[in-house]
Chains A and B, each alone.
Chain A
C-alpha cells in the first residue's frame, strides 16, 4: 500500500488527534501572538472613546454557553472599557441563556475588578424577555411596557441608572453580542434604523459575513469571532496599559485557533494532492 493509499483511507480519528494536539499544545505552552486591530474593530473602540462620561450603553447578551469562548472575551473587554470610561451599562437578553451569560460577566469581571461601581447606579441587569424582534419593537417605544423590574426584582423606576431611560432611543450605544437569531441583524432592523440609535456588533465568526452589508452605514463597527475580540483587547491594552496585567483571554485563545486553522489547511492540501494524483492515474 502506497503512502497515498494510506492517506486516502486515513482514519478520521487521526485527524481528530491532530486537531486535539493543535489546540492543546499552544495552551500548554501559553503561546500568544501580537494582534493588530482592523478598522472595523477600531471603529467600535473609537466610538466608545468618543462617548461622554455618564452615557448609557445597552448590552444585549444574545448568546448561550456554546458560543461563550468567542463572545465572552468581547463582552469582558467592552465591559472593562465602558466602566473604565465611567459609562453606565445596562444588560438584557433576547436569548434565555443570555441572562446567565451577563450574570457571569458581572460576577467574574465587574464585581472583582470594579468594586467601586454600584449596582443600579453604574450597571444594571434587566435580564431575559421573550418576543425577539417583537420585544425590540416594543421597547423602542417604551422600555417599561416590558421591563418593570430587573433580575433582582427591583422595580425599574427605583434604579437610578434607568431614570433617564424611557425608550431605546435614550441609549447612546447598543453593543450587541450575538450568536444567531435574534441578534445583531434584528437589533439593526428594529432598533438601529427606525430609532436612529448607534449599533455595534460582537458576533460569532460564522455569523460575521452576514453582517458585513450593514457596515459602516447601519452599524458602527463589528467584532467578528475570537479574532475580533483579540483585536479589541489589543486596542484596549494600547490605550489603557493597566489591563495588560489582567488576563487577555481572546489573545491567549488565538494561538490554538491559529494552529488549528493551519492543521486544517495542511489536511485540505493533502486531500487535494490525493485527488489530483488519483485523477491523473485514471486518465492514464
Chain B
C-alpha cells in the first residue's frame, strides 16, 4: 500500500499532464492552465526548502564546530540580514507593496555593492584558471586533440579583431578561408550537428525515463524499502 498509492498518483498525474499539454480542446486546455499554476506555486515552496536546508546545514556546522565553521556565521548572518531587509523593504518606500529595489533601499545597496562585485569577481577568476589550465592540458597528443586544438584556435581568433586582420588580405575567391568565416562555419555546421545529436539524445532519454516513471518501472524516487 505504501508504494501502490504513490505509484497510482504518479501514473494518473503523469498521464493527465501529457493529455493536458498535447490535446488543445477543453477540458484539457483548462487542465494545462491549472496544472501550470500549481507547478509555479509548488516552485515557490522550493525557496522555503532551500532556506531551511541552508539553516540546518550551517547551524549544525556551528553547533558541532566542524571544519571552517566560522564561515557558516558569515553565511547565516548574510542570509538573515538579506531576508529581513528584503521582506521589510528597509530604506525603501513605505508599505509592503513598495518596490524592493527602489532608490535608497538597503536591498538595492546589498545587490549593487555586495552581490554584484562578489559574483563578478568569482566569475572573472575563471579567465586566469582557463589560461593556466590551457597551458598545461591543451596538448595535441592525438588526432582528435589536434582537431579540437585547431578548432579552438580558429574560434578564439575568429571572435576577435585579430582573426579579421590576419586574413583580410585574402582575395574574394578565398574569403571562405578568412578566420572569422571559418569560425562561423565551425559554429554553424560541425557544432550544430554535434549539438543536435546531443539534444535529440537527451530528449529521447527524457521520454524513456518519464515513461518508466509513469508506468511504475522506475521506482527509485520512492526511496528504499526501509
- On A, residues with C-beta under 8 Å from B are 10, 12, 15-16, 18-20, 23, 33-36, 38, 40, 64-69, 97, 99-100, 103-104, 107, 129-132, 134-135, 137-138, 141-142, 145-146, 149, 151-153, 205, 208-210, 212-213, 225, 227, 254, 257-258, 260-265, 267-268, 270-272, 275-276
Contacts and interface: CB of A to CB of B under 8 A. Distances in A.
Given A137-B36, A261-B157, A271-B135, 13 more contacts: A38-B180, A65-B119, A130-B47, A131-B43, A132-B43, A151-B100, A152-B102, A209-B187, A213-B199, A254-B160, A264-B134, A272-B140, A275-B141
A103 B195 contact: no
B112 to A, nearest CB: 7
Contact of A213 (B39, B140, B141, B196): B196
Contact of A34 (B108, B140, B161): B161
Residue among A65, A141, A151 having the largest count of chain B Cβ atoms under 10 Å: A65
A10 B135 contact: yes
B127 interface: yes
B32 A141 contact: yes
A7 B138 CA distance: 15
A132 B44 CA distance: 11
A131 B100 CA distance: 20
Contacts of A268: 134-135, 138, 149, 152-153
A152 B98 contact: yes
Closest 4 CB pairs of A and B: A153-B97, A258-B160, A131-B40, A66-B123
Contacts, number: 160
Contacts of B160: 227, 254, 257-258, 261-262
Contacts of A65: 111, 115-117, 119-120
B46 interface: yes
A66 B122 contact: yes
Contact of A260 (B100, B127, B157): B127
A272 B196 contact: no
B99 A36 contact: no
Interface of B: 29, 32-33, 36-37, 39-40, 43-44, 46-47, 95, 97-103, 108, 111-112, 115-117, 119-120, 122-123, 127-128, 130-132, 134-136, 138-141, 149, 152-153, 156-157, 159-162, 164, 180, 184, 187-188, 191-192, 195-196, 199
Contacts of B159: 205, 225, 227, 257, 261
19 contacts: A15-B132, A15-B135, A16-B131, A65-B115, A68-B120, A104-B112, A130-B40, A131-B43, A141-B29, A142-B33, A151-B99, A152-B98, A212-B188, A212-B192, A254-B161, A261-B162, A265-B153, A265-B156, A271-B134
A114 B111 CA distance: 25
A16 to B, nearest CB: 5
A149 B36 contact: no
A66 B161 contact: no
B33 A138 contact: yes
B46 A267 contact: no
Contacts of A141: 29, 32-33, 36
Contact of A67 (B112, B123, B192): B123
Contacts of B37: 138, 145-146
A172 to B, nearest CB: 23
B49 to A, nearest CB: 12
Nearest to A68: B120
Contacts of A257: 159-160
A146 B141 CA distance: 54
Contacts of B140: 272, 275-276
A134 B119 contact: no
A129 B40 CA distance: 8
A126 to B, nearest CB: 12
Contact of A258 (B139, B162, B180): B162
A99 B46 contact: no
B187 A212 contact: yes
Nearest to B141: A275
Given A65-B116, A97-B115, A153-B97, A258 B161 contact: yes
A99 B101 contact: yes
Nearest to A204: B123
A142 B192 CA distance: 34
Nearest to B122: A66
Given A258-B160, A260-B127, A209 B191 contact: yes
Contacts of A212: 187-188, 191-192, 195
A54 to B, nearest CB: 26
Contact of A151 (B32, B101, B119, B162): B101
A40 B159 CA distance: 14
B135 A267 contact: yes
